[in-house]
Amino acid sequence: MTTRRQRVRNERVARRRKTRKTALKGAPQKRGVCRKVYQKAPKKPNSAQRWVTSMRRVTGKKVRAYIPGEGGHGLHEHSTVLIRGGRVRDLPGVQYKLVRGALDLGGVEKRISSRSKYGKKKEKE
């Protein structure tokens, strides 16, 4: 049993929270370069073909990021993209998402709802 004096002397230190988003280094978004763009099948019970890119951060860290939205994206090797946090639950190992409508990644065409997530400007009437 510790004495009162020992407890005062060895005060508890608040633990720092661990983050899974190590490639972001505390920033909301970071820039990176695509190494490979490919399709990946999700784990059970889902079935589809999801677009994923293997990319290299400016710091040299290699991560995999999901390309959100339907339709074409126009990404290929050496494209510059912006990544943000947010894992894709049915794709193991994919901890990041790309920001649509930023740098080399265009917005989703024909998007009507949730346009801000997919980089689509409001259509003029």
- Read off the pLDDT of residues 62-80 as tens digits, 9 standing for 90 and up: 999 999 988 778 888 999 9
Please, what are the domains in the chain?
27-107 (2.40.50.140)
So what's the pLDDT on residue 115?
83
* H or E segment and range at residue 63: strand 62-66
Q: How far is CA 37 from CA 15, 77, 93, 109, in A?
A: 39, 7, 15, 20
So what's the pLDDT on residue 79?
92
Helix-strand-coil split of the chain, %, nearest 5:
10, 30, 60
So what's the pLDDT on residue 43?
93
Q: Do 105 and 66 contact (CB within 8 A), yes or no?
A: no
Residues in the chain, pLDDT under 70: none
